Structure 1
């Protein structure tokens, strides 16, 4: 996935990021996502707390709005 594509979707949170291996990350707020040229760092709930997870852009298969923002 291109960094610019992901940056354009930030305003449509919540987003669902689906990885090439099938793993799914739901980003609930735009503040919970930081996009750089080659990766995105997201905050997701893990083990009862919000944790940072860094994902390689090349490994993201799709990004789509979820909930009320879905088209």
Structure 2
């Protein structure tokens, strides 16, 4: 995935980032993701209810889909 394309999607958000290994990360607010030249750093809520942080390589992103905004 290209850096500029991902940045536009994050700004339009919310989005779900799916990785090549099948794991997905919901970015519910644009303040929860930072895109660098080679990766995106994502703050997400894990299944255990705690907030977690991951660095996701751009080359390993399989897809990005738009989510419905939370009300």
The TM-score with structure 2 as length reference comes to 0.87
Displacement of 1:11: 1.7
- What are structure 2's unaligned runs of at least 5 residues? none
Aligned Cα RMSD in Å? 1.1
How many residue pairs end up in the alignment?
68
SS in 2 for 1:67: coil
Q: Could you say which structure has the higher helix fraction? A: 1
Runs of 4+ in 1 over 3 A off after TM superposition: none
For residues 16-70 of structure 1, the C-alpha deviation after alignment (integer angstroms, 9 at most, x for no partner) is 10111111111110000000000000001123221111100000011121114xx
| Partner SS for 1:4 | helix
* Aligned pairs (5 A) from 1:44-59: 44-46=44-46, 47-59=48-60
CA contact (8 A) 2:17 2:25 kept: yes
TM-score (norm 1): 0.87
Deviation of 1:5 (Å): 0.7
